[in-house]
Chain A
Amino acid sequence: MVPMTVQRFVEKAWRHNADAITLDLEDGVPPAHKGAVRSSLKEAIVLAGRGGAEVFVRINKPFLAADLAAAAWPGLTGVMLPKVESGAEVAEAATLMTDLERQRGIEVGALELIVLLESALGVWNIRDIVTASPRVTQVGLGESDLCRKLGITATDAEDPFVYARGRVVIEGIAAGVQPIGMAFPLSLTPRLLPEKDLLHLATMARNLGFKGSICPHPSWIEPVNAAFSPTAEQVVYYAKVREVFAEGVARGTAAVPLDGKMIDVPVDEWAKVVLHVAALCQARDEMKQQALQRAAAFQR
């Protein structure tokens, strides 16, 4: 997440190896600056995409049409829609996006939506929201706004959003939309932490069902990428699992011992998932690497 107000951040964002860069028009931009910032978005999108990252723009809910018009340019992957509370809001944004795609030579339907739920109503209506348009590809919680709306004073001691986070994961995955988020307490109060702590909490987030996380600071990016990608050891182990299980099935058994554990159909199925995700992560990393090299060469 990069505030559009700081030109230096916008210019440097591509070097940080994030899978996606979201240029923020919303909370990171004071009201008086929003107009000026809108006019520089078209160029910022190109700058941000140089390292192979997908580029998103977080818009302001009250300025939906103006912000969408400022953001919908070639090179944009999609729009992050904050404070969503109903499917109708998503449909309204999707319709405006279709018009803009037609006007600006972007393939119709190509622009994605990341929806953020930041109120009780948004969390409650999640099913309507994530199924309101095929553009919706990711869904997350805005936990600090949620705290404010529910009258919760955030502390590190009690996790107030076990239910909300679980609901985002279940309803998102049920609808084929990727849930994104962090584990408590970082989800509630983002901060700078040593890399190993970030890795630990991001791994927890993956094991809650999230597929990635918004990073408020560049130092989050490497541990978050690592946590949401299968490790090299896991790839080796699960390749072995698949091999051992296939041998067992050939012998007529569907339960095969390996290192004191029993490998059966569900374990083999899980191994397939891990190896598939690992391959996708590797392909994404290679693509970013090539884009980075191209961009770096161009800079020199």
Chain B
Amino acid sequence: MPKRHVRRSGLTMPVNNPRFLNAVWTRGCDFVNLDLEDSVPESQKPHARTLIKLAIPTAAKGGAEVFVRINHDYVEADLEGVVWPGLARVNYPKAETAEEMRKLDVIITRLERERGIRPGTVEIGANIETARGVANALEIASASPRIKDFGGGGGYDMSRDLGVEMFVGFDQFVYGKGELELTARALGVAVHRAGAFVPNTTGSVSDADRAFREAEASRKCGFREGGGLHPNVIEPQNRGFTPTEAEVTDAKRVLERYQALQRAGKGFEELDGRITDVYEARRAEELLEWAELCAERNAEKAEAVARTKAAE
């Protein structure tokens, strides 16, 4: 089983903004999503493509994984500009068919070979942002082994496709998100950026308090991935997606109790109204594994930041 990625927080930012790009390594995010799509004006896209090769190592200086969001309509030109060493993943917006995924896979495979990148390194992120994408979810997600996580089903493009307002007090995307999560779990890939519903009626992208509540609730619903558009939400997402010390202590205690039960030849015990059984033990195990991965990821990032600071 491959190592699980830790992608609790990530900034999506226009690659053609040098001020953002030069500061992004100091932000503490698990990944950076360099954007060629919506935040880059049409007239600047050709120029923006030429910036990616050097932007990848710049964005990675703080230990973040680097992704690029390409344009739905400029697959060939964008991929030529973005598949360079250091790239972890290509995010493809408005994915609607398996055919699109196969086309991306063929081009990425060729570019990896031509540019000395280990085959299979670059992931494909299929961003599902239309009703058609949700309807074709299973075919899309199974179209390429490069798809390592899968999800979505909300956001502005989805709201436009469905003709619904974006910031309402209820979850207008609940069905689509559910379909995509089921698809991911059925295929055994990670669930990408889906989450528990925490209302956002103002449209704010920088509300740290809300970001924390959403990340924490999402983690408790089994989700592990975040991401956003504003530096303010990075720390709260890192914190919200990481188990607390109290949770870690409790999980250890559950495991100990379960092991003691097994030694006694029992599989089930109730203590002060709380059940210890195989299900609780598995939950505790997963929590401890995740907490450890988060700690490793934090250490990697701290090391990268220290290296960069020493070098500069």
- The answer to whether A208 and B44 touch (CB under 8 A), given A174-B134, A270-B166, is no
A171 at the interface (CB under 8 A from B): yes
Complex contact B135–A163 (CB within 8 A): no
Complex contact B164–A174 (CB within 8 A): no
Please measure, in the bound complex, the distance between the C-alpha atom of A270 and the C-alpha atom of B156, giving whole angstroms. 8
- The answer to whether A253 and B156 touch (CB under 8 A), given A170-B176, A204-B170, A270-B166, is no
Please measure, in the bound complex, the distance between the C-alpha atom of A169 and the C-alpha atom of B42, giving whole angstroms. 32
Complex contact A173–B178 (CB within 8 A): no
Chain B residues positioned under 8 Å from A132 (CB to CB): none
- The answer to whether A127 and B135 touch (CB under 8 A), given A261-B203, A266-B38, is yes
Q: Which of B37, B166, B178 interacts with A163 by CB under 8 Å? A: B178
Chain B residues positioned under 8 Å from A261 (CB to CB): 203
- B104 smallest CB distance to A (angstroms): 21
Q: Which of B37, B43, B161, B179 interacts with A173 by CB under 8 Å? A: B161
Please measure, in the bound complex, the distance between the C-alpha atom of A206 and the C-alpha atom of B166, giving whole angstroms. 12
Complex contact A166–B175 (CB within 8 A): yes
B145 at the interface (CB under 8 A from A): no
Complex contact A173–B40 (CB within 8 A): no
0 or 1 for each of B28-72: is its CB under 8 Å from A? (1 = yes): 000000000111111110000000000000000000000000000
Complex contact B135–A171 (CB within 8 A): yes
Complex contact B163–A269 (CB within 8 A): no
Nearest opposing residue in chain A for B133, CB measure = A174
0 or 1 for each of B157-197: is its CB under 8 Å from A? (1 = yes): 10111111110101010111011000000000000000000
Q: Which of B37, B44, B134 interacts with A170 by CB under 8 Å? A: B134
Complex contact B174–A166 (CB within 8 A): yes
Please measure, in the bound complex, the distance between the C-alpha atom of A175 and the C-alpha atom of B14, giving whole angstroms. 33
Complex contact A252–B38 (CB within 8 A): no
Q: Which of A163, A206, A264 interacts with B164 by CB under 8 Å? A: A206
Chain B residues positioned under 8 Å from A120 (CB to CB): none
0 or 1 for each of B65-106: is its CB under 8 Å from A? (1 = yes): 000000000000000000000000000000000000000000
Interface residue SS majority, chain A: helix
A170-224 with Cβ < 8 A to chain B:
170-175, 204, 206-209, 211
A255-300 with Cβ < 8 A to chain B:
255, 261-262, 264-267, 269-270, 273, 277
Complex contact B43–A169 (CB within 8 A): no
Q: Which of A167, A252, A253, A262 interacts with B175 by CB under 8 Å? A: A167
A249 at the interface (CB under 8 A from B): yes
Please measure, in the bound complex, the distance between the C-alpha atom of A207 and the C-alpha atom of B160, giving whole angstroms. 11
Chain A residues positioned under 8 Å from B134 (CB to CB): 170, 174
A254 at the interface (CB under 8 A from B): yes
Complex contact A253–B176 (CB within 8 A): no
- B187 smallest CB distance to A (angstroms): 19
Q: Which of A163, A167, A254 interacts with B38 by CB under 8 Å? A: A254
Complex contact B132–A174 (CB within 8 A): yes
Nearest opposing residue in chain A for B153, CB measure = A170
What number of A residues sit within 8 Å (CB to CB) of B?
Answer: 34
Q: Which of B39, B43, B130, B163 interacts with A264 by CB under 8 Å? A: B39
- A60 smallest CB distance to B (angstroms): 31
Chain A residues positioned under 8 Å from B203 (CB to CB): 261
What number of B residues sit within 8 Å (CB to CB) of A?
Answer: 36
- The answer to whether A174 and B135 touch (CB under 8 A), given A266-B157, A273-B163, is yes
Please measure, in the bound complex, the distance between the C-alpha atom of A167 and the C-alpha atom of B178, giving whole angstroms. 11
B131 at the interface (CB under 8 A from A): yes
Complex contact B135–A262 (CB within 8 A): no
Complex contact A169–B38 (CB within 8 A): no
- The answer to whether A209 and B156 touch (CB under 8 A), given A127-B135, A254-B41, A266-B38, is no
- A18 smallest CB distance to B (angstroms): 20
- B282 smallest CB distance to A (angstroms): 27
A83 at the interface (CB under 8 A from B): no
Chain A residues positioned under 8 Å from B166 (CB to CB): 270
Chain A residues positioned under 8 Å from B43 (CB to CB): 249, 252
Chain A residues positioned under 8 Å from B174 (CB to CB): 162, 166
0 or 1 for each of A156-167: is its CB under 8 Å from B? (1 = yes): 000000110111
Please measure, in the bound complex, the distance between the C-alpha atom of A169 and the C-alpha atom of B171, giving whole angstroms. 14
Please measure, in the bound complex, the distance between the C-alpha atom of A175 and the C-alpha atom of B135, giving whole angstroms. 9
Complex contact A252–B163 (CB within 8 A): no
Chain B residues positioned under 8 Å from A165 (CB to CB): 175
Nearest opposing residue in chain A for B38, CB measure = A265
Known: A173-B161, A174-B135. 16 other contacts (CB 8 A): A127-B135, A162-B174, A166-B174, A166-B178, A169-B175, A171-B131, A174-B131, A209-B164, A252-B44, A254-B14, A254-B38, A264-B39, A265-B39, A266-B156, A270-B160, A273-B163
- Provide a sorted-by-A list of 28 A–B residue pairs whose CB atoms are within 8 angstroms: A127-B135, A163-B178, A166-B174, A166-B175, A166-B176, A169-B131, A171-B135, A172-B131, A173-B161, A173-B162, A174-B131, A174-B132, A174-B134, A174-B135, A175-B135, A206-B164, A252-B41, A254-B41, A265-B37, A265-B38, A265-B39, A266-B155, A266-B157, A267-B156, A270-B156, A270-B160, A270-B166, A273-B160
Query: Residues on A close to B: CB < 8 A?
Result: 127, 162-163, 165-167, 169-175, 204, 206-209, 211, 249, 252-255, 261-262, 264-267, 269-270, 273, 277
